[in-house]
Amino acid sequence: MPDPAPDLSALARARWRVAITLTIAMTAVYFGFIALIAYDKPLLGTLLAPGLTLGMLLGVVVILASWLLTWIYMHWANRHYDVHVDRLGKENEERGTRSQA
Amino acid sequence: MTAPMLLQAAATAAPATRIGEPNVVAMGFFFVFIAITMGITWWAARRTKTTDHFYAAGRTISARQNGLALAGDYMSAASFLGIAGLVSTTGFDGLIYSTGWLVGWPVVLFLIAEPLRNLGRYTFADVVAARLSQTPVRLAAAVGTLATVILYLIAQMVGAGGLIRLMFGLPYETAVAIVGAAMLAYVLFGGMLATTWVQIVKAVLLMFGAFMLAVMVLAQFGMNPLRLFAAAAEKYGAGVLAPGKLVSNPLDAISLGMALMFGTAGLPHILMRFYTVPDARAARTSVFYATGLIGFFYLMTFILGFGAMVLVGPDAIKAVDKGGNMAAPLLAEYLGGTPVLGFIAAVAFATILAVVAGLTLSGAAALSHDLWVNVVRRGEANATEQLRVARGATVVLAVVAIVLGIAFKGQNVAFMVGLAFAIAASGNFPALVLSIFWRRCTTAGAVSAMLLGTAGTLLLIWLSPTVQIDLLKHTQAWFPLKNPALVTIPLSFAVGVVVSLATGGSRSLEAVDRFANAERRMHLGGAAGTG
């Protein structure tokens, strides 16, 4: 995180950047796979080992990529995002009590 | 003719499978499942006293439980029986669907789950309406929700009728009525709490059933999946391990992929599940679990499909059901005889029940919470009235589901699941994303994105080869793609943006004050306070 103590709109921007980057990564992986199915079927039929074609391997890679990307997001959100959310929430409550007093 | 020859003739004439005959084991498992789920419903009914309980299980479901329930809500009979069937008859091509149905989940996690939990109460319309005008947004969102839910329900009910007729030997209408009645009992009395636990029980049964079959298949191939695939290639040609005929038009493939990927993030019954957990963090964690479970499940269906191809054979599978849907049950029968077949049949039934219960509940929420409470009564309905209307709406939807299920008997409804995903992706998803993340999104922008996305999808499906050529037997179609998502998703986003820019100023109330407020709630949740 570039800014150690971002305000809410900076945190919102950071979350949006992470969310959109990961969404684009997932989209690229999946549509890369679909585009190969659509435009280069013979390539995906290449036999890598008896019983395993490149297409099947890439299909499994798409599933593994989904797992990896959700894990990356979880990791980021638990380590960085939540810390700032907790801090901002506390500040918000303190402001609320002060303004009531 | 001598006696042994007669016996031999009788043996060859006898059907090779007992599918379609009343199966005592299946009946037994089915009654146990009904008994357990009705027990759960009775328990849940005593805890369902307010609309928070009815729609959101009192927000008491843990992340792990919700992960299982999401998987149970999502893995329909279409994905269990359908993908195993597709793989068993075409090989590799089934993978296009299973990956497509999985990659929507990360998108739900990154863009939708947490903001939804923090901004809404019961429906996704709550989120879009959070900083926009209630009435138009809720009317438009209800159109998208009900279109998605009813199409999905028709597909499930028609599938249920056919499957149960095949597996239990019951008449189609009886099967549809049983599914409708059981689902009505869960939702009407036990609300979201009963629905959640039915989905959890179903997810565990389905994962267990698929895992058991996968292990039994692999045991025949030295526990090595590659030996199974190699056996398939040896028997039916190397083509079964490569992309085949399912995708002939490249744009069709991309369009279908878009509907599957972005549709998940707009399915009302899936989105509604995020309200059942205590906070946004639990919503996040539950998608993580669901993605793991669903991905693992699709890996197993791939093994089951190839297992059925090698051990049962595509011709034997198609002889029982042209669509290949009986591949997994036939495989179960081959591997474990009538007891395992009975278990898998009961699991398929449980699968359908859990999905239709979730669909009905989300449709009922759109009717009662969005249309009645917030549009007709302008938010003035008291708690008793809200709960009564929610239950009334549940009965209406159950009756609609049964009537449409019977009305569409014998029709090819497979395209309706694709259509439901296309509407969810083009009607619901763009408006959700724009209203959550884009400051300048206005009421008119969100409403036109939802209405044009839904109407455009319906129109283009009507003009597509699926309806014009396959259904109406015309010689040509006006619109070339089988699934319109490639056109309708960008169209919906574009309309939302253009109309928002035309109707709003960057200094409007919606854009400045209310967005700042919504943004604070979206990130801070309960700690944001009311200011």
From A3's Cα to the closest Cα of chain B, the distance in A is 17
Residues of chain B positioned with their CB less than 8 A from the CB of A37: 96, 243, 247, 253
What SS3 state is found at A47?
A: strand
Sign for the pseudo-dihedral over CA of B349, B354, B357, B359: negative
DSSP state of A3: S
Question: What amino acid occupies position B65?
Answer: Q
What SS3 state is found at B476?
A: coil
What SS3 state is found at B138?
A: helix
ipTM of this predicted structure: 0.91
> What is the spatial distance between Cα B337 and Cα B340, in angstroms, rounded to a whole number?
6
Give me the residue from A19, A51, A85 closest to B226, CB to CB: A51
Kindly indicate the confidence band of residue A99, based on its pLDDT and cuts at 50, 70 and 90. low
Residues of chain B positioned with their CB less than 8 A from the CB of A70: 105-106, 109, 287-288, 291-292
Residues of chain A positioned with their CB less than 8 A from the CB of B254: 31, 34-35, 38
Q: What is the pLDDT of residue A4?
A: 54
Digit-coded pLDDT (tens) for B426-476: 999 999 999 999 988 999 999 999 999 999 999 999 998 888 888 888 888
Give the number of beta-carbon pairs within 8 Å between A and B: 156
What SS3 state is found at B242?
A: coil
Residues of chain A positioned with their CB less than 8 A from the CB of B112: none
Digit-coded pLDDT (tens) for B132-178: 989 999 999 999 999 999 999 998 898 888 777 777 778 889 989 99
Nearest CA in chain A to B105: A66
Provide the CB-side half-sphere exposure for B346 (13 A, CA).
Answer: 23
Nearest CA in chain A to B294: A63
* A16–B106 C-beta distance less than 8 A: no
Task: State the average pLDDT for chain B.
Answer: 89
Give me the residue from B100, B241, B523 closest to A45, CB to CB: B241
DSSP secondary structure string, B384-453? HHHHHHHHHHHHHHHHHHHHHHHHTTTS--HHHHHHHHHHIIIIIHHHHHHHHH-TT--HHHHHHHHHHH
Residues of chain B positioned with their CB less than 8 A from the CB of A20: 110
From A5's Cα to the closest Cα of chain B, the distance in A is 15
Chosen from B97, B108, B110 to mutate, greatest number of chain A CBs within 10 A:
B110
Residues of chain A positioned with their CB less than 8 A from the CB of B239: 45
Digit-coded pLDDT (tens) for A44-95: 989 998 999 999 999 999 999 999 999 999 999 999 999 998 888 888 777 7
* B95–A56 C-beta distance less than 8 A: yes
Spatial contact of B225 and A6, defined as CB atoms under 8 Å apart: no
